[in-house]
């Protein structure tokens, strides 16, 4: 597979497969050979969130009160009354001012208020769906629904979910894609990422150190029990004890006093040589 890029003079330049990298963590359902932005599935949610924001802005611009219908007596000129009412009551700075009516005018509310519309809940649901599409726990970015469903006591769990479920897989895919352009220095080497200097992931480094300490303890116990060191290392790394191979030698604690122990060559060692 190759590709094209804009060239000089308007003619495209052809690229071979080894001259480009293909990074598409989210494939496009309409064209599997290319990727798409993570925002594409939630464009409707983004549009709804913008509409809710505009709705709130219009609410305050138009008086910070519900929309109303004003009816007039047949002898009242509506245009003059509307201009006077807008000048005195329209806009957030005129909110809660006393409304005076005359000339047989009557005011009726025909719209719900913000509490009835529940814009906070509507926008909160949209924000949560957008965060889910991005693979970011809502509590990480401080979204209202994320903070309502969890506290910062759960932040460590959310951080690990974000790091292990979103960021590291994306880094791995990026490294694998860029390896087509960045040749590893030695045979068997692979392009990888280095996250040791990222403060956000320092807690994970402590967990890694604890896991390595326990693995080292397991390796030592198995080697002391007489298993081959190379096989022990491979078994612990693969979490498969079927890879273990025993040397035939046992720990001193398993031997009777003044008895011979098997040697690697299979020839018993005399007791006098053991001392």
Report CA-CA distances (Å) from 153 to 111, 147, 207, 241. Answer: 41, 11, 18, 37
Instruction: Please state, in angstroms and rounded to a whole number, the distance separating the CA atoms of residues 236 and 211.
Output: 11
Task: Quote the percentage of the chain above a pLDDT of 70.
Answer: 64
Q: Give 42's pLDDT tier (boundaries 50, 70, 90).
A: confident
pLDDT tens per residue, range 230-260: 999 999 988 888 889 888 877 766 566 666 6
Instruction: Please state, in angstroms and rounded to a whole number, the distance separating the CA atoms of residues 137 and 131.
Output: 6
pLDDT over 60 at 46, yes or no: yes
Q: Which residue has the higher pLDDT, 186 or 275?
A: 186
pLDDT over 60 at 266, yes or no: no
Structural element, H or E, at residue 32 = strand 31-35
pLDDT value of residue 257? 60
Report CA-CA distances (Å) from 197 to 74, 176, 212. Answer: 77, 21, 19
pLDDT tens per residue, range 98-138: 666 666 667 776 565 566 656 666 667 777 888 888 888 88
pTM higher than the cut 0.85: no
pLDDT averaged over the chain?
A: 75
Q: Which residue has the higher pLDDT, 51 or 118?
A: 51
Which residue is associated with the tokens 């009777």? Answer: 256
pLDDT tens per residue, range 168-225: 999 999 998 888 888 888 888 888 888 878 888 777 777 778 888 999 999 998 888 8
Q: Which residue has the higher pLDDT, 81 or 165?
A: 165
């Amino acid at each position: 597979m190759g590709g094209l890029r804009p060239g000089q003079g308007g003619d495209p330049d052809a690229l071979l497969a080894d001259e480009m990298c293909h990074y598409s963590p989210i494939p496009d359902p309409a064209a599997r050979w290319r990727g798409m932005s993570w925002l594409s599935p939630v464009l409707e949610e983004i549009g709804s969130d913008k509409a809710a924001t505009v709705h709130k802005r219009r609410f305050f611009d138009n008086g910070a009160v519900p929309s109303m219908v004003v009816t007039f007596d047949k002898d009242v000129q509506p245009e003059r009354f509307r201009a006077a009412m807008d000048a005195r009551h329209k806009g957030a700075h005129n909110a809660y001012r006393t409304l005076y009516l005359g000339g047989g005018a009557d005011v009726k509310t025909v719209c719900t208020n913000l509490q009835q519309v529940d814009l906070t809940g509507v926008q909160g649901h949209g924000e949560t769906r957008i965060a889910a599409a991005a693979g970011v726990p809502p509590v990480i970015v401080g979204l209202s629904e994320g903070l309502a469903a969890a506290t910062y006591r759960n932040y460590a769990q959310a951080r690990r979910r974000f790091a292990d479920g979103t960021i590291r897989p994306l880094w791995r895919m990026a490294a694998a894609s860029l390896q087509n352009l960045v040749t590893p220095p030695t045979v068997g080497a692979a392009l990888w990422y280095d996250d040791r200097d990222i403060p956000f992931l320092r807690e994970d480094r402590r967990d890694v150190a604890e896991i390595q300490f326990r693995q080292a303890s397991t390796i030592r116990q198995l080697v002391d029990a007489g298993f081959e060191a190379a096989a022990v290392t491979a078994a612990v790394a693969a979490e498969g004890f079927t890879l273990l191979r025993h040397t035939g030698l046992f720990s001193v604690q398993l031997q009777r006093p003044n008895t011979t122990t098997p040697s690697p060559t299979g020839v018993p060692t005399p007791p006098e040589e053991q001392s």
